[in-house]
Structure 1
């Protein structure tokens, strides 16, 4: 089926017609395309973006389907303009063996957007287990024992990075040095539950210095191996700068860009995540680095937990917040108000992500690329409400903020979301084949 998106406005301001045929972009014409098409979409000057690539999600399957599934998570992604996701390995059955990889791939077939599956490393990791599966494809390792028992020592990390370098793939690192955590802050639980808890204490427990130290260590080991290192969810300007100085790429999350410790009292346990929320000054410094290009990409670390699971004490609550559906809408609202350019939003959510993770058919509106497209009207805003979102967890840390949501999302030429409704069956494919 062919589709013609007529009179669309690209992020750089150009008005053009975009023709889609057989799942790819056939042409991008600055003048009107007169050829017939099976479907013509009158963009009428609305903004057309390449589908966002969220390089860091936790869709929770296998093992925790009560939090999220590939169906609910991918629909949430599509409703937020995300057309490709990369799922992380710290599920209930961690993705560290070929068997675990195959099991997750079976479940991912229910995805409404394209996907990558990260392999991980634990203390039990056997290098030989990676020989028959692309477990380092978009791979992730952790320097801190932060989530799902994925913590490893530096020797094991160095061995894994060596294998990644041999395979010529980028390694994503959760960089926090657990030896610098302040156990006294963690143990000072006053017993408050849910939103009555003070999430600022979690920031004291996992201080900013722990991030910068781990980033420096990770990039040093990566450089020695000749590996490409990508630092996940950098929450401090010091961490960002350490990554840039060491030749690594890095990402920032929406929650570290839009929330700070000033929101911790209101959020309580709903504001507990790893790395934690930082000071308002550090949040503003992240924005400066996002605008000037020091931060390479934005990724959500979408980590849903149920309301019941969050309604406990700060030390007992699970870490993580949902975000795959609100990343692009929040950034587009900031662009609408002139705080960041649409071109920069396009780059940090699509083009740069494709470059970092070697996805040449993704991330750009160009002839020959996958027709992953998102159509939005920047002047149509709406208040973000957890009840309106599609993640299974049913809440958002961005409650009450304003977002610009897509009117149409297309994955490889197939419309999967349009005017508030999901269209058709699951069409997602593994980006690594």
Structure 2
């Protein structure tokens, strides 16, 4: 449908009419003609933003549909104003071969929002078959063994970055050096930690120094090969500073921006993620770097698990929290409170990601761009409740916090969320096709 948003307030404060047709923004003007438009939306100076791009999600298919599916994950994205997601490769099987990519792509056809698929690196990856596909970027690559199924050693990391440079794709790096983890934390907690115990031990174990060192190594390899390096989920000011110094881009997650080790005991195993929560001082420093422009994008690392899975003891519970539906609402609430500008929210959730990952049709409200649009009332703040969100896992680490949720979400001109329900077709497309 063609749509006219009458009197919409853009992130920079201008009030404009925005007209879409055939999935594209065709006019941004002081006053647009409503003739022959299928639908007119009276924005009444509500805020109109480009749809958010979440460059780091784990929608869990194939292999772990009890946690999330492309259908449920994309519903959650749409209800939170996210119109494009990038899925990471640590599924079962991992997206390290062409066949695995094709299997995931067939499942992603059930998405309500547009998507990219990252390929990953393991000792048995198949770069030739993987790079033949419409790859979004290289993927979430670890710097050392023992960090999970996607873990690789330094030599393989360097080889992967060199191949990525030749292929002209961005390398997204999970920067933690497992050699610097504090094994004495395990020894101090030999009996295992339950949800009601001192869950802060996870932050003691995966200490901040492991991130900074890994970022420095990653940007050094990137400089040697000429590959663009993007640091995933930087959780410390030191990690951000190392990325900036090395010429890499970086992202921060909502859980590292809004939660700290002071929340660890209350969250218990539901607050276990990689990298872990950091001190309140480091959280505040990370937030300031976001406001100041050193953090390029906010991405959620949306990694849902079932309640039963998370209720294991700390050393056996899986890492990760959901977040795709609450990222933009949490940031908009901080903008409502005057802690960050709406322009900065627009940039870190949409514009910058489109530039980093070369999506020339996404991330802006301008003529010729995809009509990925989110209409919100900045004053309509509500309490976040996990039971009311759309992720299959049914919980959130941000329970009880305040967010500003969309009144409308459009993907390429079609409404997918109307402020109350998911509507429309599962018509998301691979942005690399």
Distance in 2, matches of 1:10 and 1:66, equals 39
Distance in 2, matches of 1:67 and 1:268, equals 19
1:6 corresponding residue in structure 2: 6
Aligned residues of 1:306 and 1:393 also touching (Cα < 8 A) = yes
1:53 corresponding residue in structure 2: 53
Give the C-alpha shift of residue 392 in structure 1. 0.4
Q: Secondary structure at the match of 2:163?
A: helix
**Residues 38-187 of structure 1 aligned to structure 2 (within 5 Å):** 38-135=38-135, 137=137, 139-145=139-145, 148-187=148-187
Q: Deviations over 1:55-108 (max 9, x none)?
A: 000000000000000000000000000000000000121000000000000000
Q: 1:298 to 1:45 in 2, by over 3 A?
A: same
Give the C-alpha shift of residue 167 in structure 1. 1.4
1:339 corresponding residue in structure 2: 339
Q: Indicate yes or no: 2:311 matched with 1:326.
A: no
**Residues 26-425 of structure 1 aligned to structure 2 (within 5 Å):** 26-135=26-135, 137=137, 139-145=139-145, 148-187=148-187, 188-194=189-195, 196-425=196-425
Distance in 2, matches of 1:135 and 1:123, equals 19
Distance in 1, matches of 2:180 and 2:321, equals 24
Distance in 1, matches of 2:147 and 2:214, equals 16
Distance in 1, matches of 2:146 and 2:263, equals 22
The farther-off stretch of 88-97 and 122-131 is 122-131
Give the C-alpha shift of residue 183 in structure 1. 1.4
Give the C-alpha shift of residue 177 in structure 1. 0.5
Distance in 1, matches of 2:295 and 2:325, equals 21
Give the C-alpha shift of residue 32 in structure 1. 4.3
Q: Deviations over 1:281-333 (max 9, x none)?
A: 00000011001100000000000000000111100100000000000000000
Give the C-alpha shift of residue 35 in structure 1. 3.3
Aligned residues of 1:114 and 1:411 also touching (Cα < 8 A) = yes
Q: Deviations over 1:204-233 (max 9, x none)?
A: 101100000000000000110001000000
Give the C-alpha shift of residue 34 in structure 1. 4.4
Give the C-alpha shift of residue 184 in structure 1. 1.9
Aligned residues of 1:173 and 1:232 also touching (Cα < 8 A) = yes
Q: Secondary structure at the match of 1:421?
A: coil
Provide the aligned C-alpha RMSD in A.
Answer: 1.2
Distance in 1, matches of 2:404 and 2:351, equals 20
Distance in 2, matches of 1:88 and 1:147, equals 15
Structure 2, unaligned stretches of length 5 or more?
A: none
Q: Secondary structure at the match of 2:366?
A: coil
Distance in 2, matches of 1:15 and 1:136, equals 34
Aligned residues of 1:172 and 1:230 also touching (Cα < 8 A) = yes
Aligned residues of 1:189 and 1:314 also touching (Cα < 8 A) = no
Aligned residues of 1:84 and 1:115 also touching (Cα < 8 A) = yes
Distance in 1, matches of 2:135 and 2:14, equals 40
Give the C-alpha shift of residue 140 in structure 1. 2.7
The farther-off stretch of 273-282 and 132-141 is 132-141
Distance in 1, matches of 2:75 and 2:121, equals 29
Distance in 1, matches of 2:226 and 2:264, equals 40
Aligned residues of 2:19 and 2:32 also touching (Cα < 8 A) = no
Give the length in aligned residue pairs: 432
Q: 1:131 to 1:13 in 2, by over 3 A?
A: closer
Give the C-alpha shift of residue 387 in structure 1. 0.5
Distance in 2, matches of 1:129 and 1:3, equals 41
Q: Secondary structure at the match of 2:91?
A: coil
Give the C-alpha shift of residue 199 in structure 1. 2.3
Aligned residues of 1:260 and 1:277 also touching (Cα < 8 A) = yes
Distance in 2, matches of 1:197 and 1:92, equals 32
The farther-off stretch of 134-143 and 215-224 is 134-143
Q: Secondary structure at the match of 1:422?
A: coil
Structure 1, unaligned stretches of length 5 or more?
A: none
Aligned residues of 1:410 and 1:416 also touching (Cα < 8 A) = yes
Q: Deviations over 1:182-214 (max 9, x none)?
A: 1121341544423x1322101110110000000
